[in-house]
């Protein structure tokens, strides 16, 4: 066959490039941007500037690790959206330049589609079974929280979404309240390892259907802490493990509640997870344990494929390549770009 695709991911604050050859990912290089840490969140202007600095060296490294030369590339793929516009523009412009210079087709990828298909990333010698269709995907990232029914690689329906904050945002905002660095999700996960998840309880959302809400939980967490810190200024540092374990438990509980409902409603028991929050150890353990108890077939991607990376963009592009839906050079990135809009645009 010999299809080699170079894929670029620049939707937020990670600059990444990957090479996929005949469905096998040969390289996945990621440059993280530490510049945002001191600001407690991603600064869009700084993110696009860092992407500009990183993109060429990251691509060079991805090609070198894969041992593939520029002339071997059959198509260039990039994330069109959703994400930060200035960041997306860097990847899109690079892809257009590459496509023109190499006279190869360009494939646009939806970031959320890529997070779902991260479960299909296969490096050489990896033999874990791939998910089979139809499956339910709990997609939990810094910007999105959705339950998706995947009927095929390019046929997916969203059956539940957050009506306010995303799960990752809930982690990050609660971490900020405790004075933890950005992004706070991994810090909460680490402190929670030695904490009691039942030490504190917070308000639970009561949202109909398969939709989620996290803003009430965040407010409940903030008010509880304000009161406790007013009584004891050292409260956070003295209780950091229990606080992290309790807020993590609450977030995972909200996610699991709706996932169970989705399984009941659809009858689908093939379950996958994706997005940065899928790196969370409590969520990973709970899904695996529930899967055993309830007879689900669960697929938990390696942690490296949960947060933003170009390998997932490469896999999504690989399965799109065969539909021959190549992108025109005149399309622009989209800061907001739902999965439905993407499939409609692609006529898939």
What is the distance of C-alpha 283 from the center of its chain?
Answer: 14
**x/- track of binding to Zn ion for residues 120-159 (CB under 5 A):** ---------------------x------------------
13 binding partner (options ligand KG4, Zn ion, none; Cβ < 5 to 8 Å by kind): none
Least Å distance, CB 285 to Zn ion, is 22
Backbone angles phi, psi at 155, to 5 degrees: -140, 100
Backbone angles phi, psi at 152, to 5 degrees: -165, 175
Least Å distance, CB 20 to ligand KG4, is 19
341: CB partners within 8 A, 6+ apart: 334
Is there binding between residue 308 and Zn ion (CB under 5 A)? yes
- Summary count for the chain: helices (H), strands (E): 10, 10
16 binding partner (options ligand KG4, Zn ion, none; Cβ < 5 to 8 Å by kind): none
What residues numbered 286-315 form the site for ligand KG4, per CB under 6 A? 307-308
Half-sphere exposure of 217 (CA within 13 A, CB side): 32
**CA dihedral angle for residue 264, residue 269, residue 272, residue 278, rounded to 10 degrees:** 50
d(CA 342, CA 80): 10
Residues present in the chain in total: 348
Closer to ligand KG4 by CB, 277 or 327: give it: 277
Least Å distance, CB 276 to ligand KG4, is 2
Closer to Zn ion by CB, 104 or 317: give it: 317
Residue numbers at the binding site for Zn ion (CB under 5 A): 141, 308
The residues binding ligand KG4 (CB under 6 A) are 12, 141-143, 168, 171-172, 183-186, 189, 275-277, 279-280, 307-308
């Amino acid at each position: 066959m010999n299809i080699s695709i170079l894929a670029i991911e620049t939707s937020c604050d990670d600059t990444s490039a990957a090479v996929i050859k005949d469905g096998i990912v040969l390289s996945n290089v990621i440059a993280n941007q530490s510049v945002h840490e001191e600001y407690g969140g991603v600064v869009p202007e700084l993110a696009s500037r860092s992407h500009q600095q990183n993109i060429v060296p990251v691509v060079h490294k991805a090609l070198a690790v894969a041992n593939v030369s520029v002339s071997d590339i059959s198509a260039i793929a990039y994330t069109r959206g959703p994400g930060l516009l200035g960041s997306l523009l860097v990847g899109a412009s690079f892809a257009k330049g590459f496509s023109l210079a190499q006279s190869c087709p360009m494939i646009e990828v939806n970031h959320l589609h890529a997070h779902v298909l991260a479960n299909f990333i296969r490096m050489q010698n990896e033999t874990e079974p791939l998910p089979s269709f139809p499956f339910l995907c709990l997609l939990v990232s810094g910007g999105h929280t959705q339950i998706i029914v995947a009927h095929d690689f390019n046929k997916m329906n969203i059956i539940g979404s957050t009506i306010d904050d995303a799960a990752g945002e809930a982690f990050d905002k609660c971490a900020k309240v405790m004075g933890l660095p950005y992004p706070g999700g991994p810090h909460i996960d680490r402190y929670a390892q030695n904490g009691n998840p039942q030490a504190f309880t917070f308000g639970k959302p009561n949202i109909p259907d398969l939709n989620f809400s996290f803003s009430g939980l965040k407010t409940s967490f903030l008010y509880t802490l304000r009161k406790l810190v007013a009584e004891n200024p050292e409260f956070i540092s003295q209780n950091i493990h229990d606080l992290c374990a309790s807020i993590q438990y609450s977030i995972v509980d909200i996610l699991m509640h709706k996932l169970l409902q989705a399984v009941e409603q659809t009858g689908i028991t093939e379950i996958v997870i994706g997005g940065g929050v899928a790196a969370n150890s409590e969520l990973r353990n709970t899904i695996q344990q529930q899967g055993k108890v309830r007879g689900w077939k669960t697929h938990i991607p390696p942690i490296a494929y949960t947060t933003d990376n170009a390998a997932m963009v490469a896999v999504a592009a690989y399965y799109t390549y065969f539909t021959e839906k190549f992108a025109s050079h005149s399309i622009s990135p989209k800061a907001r770009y739902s999965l439905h809009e993407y499939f409609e645009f692609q006529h898939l």
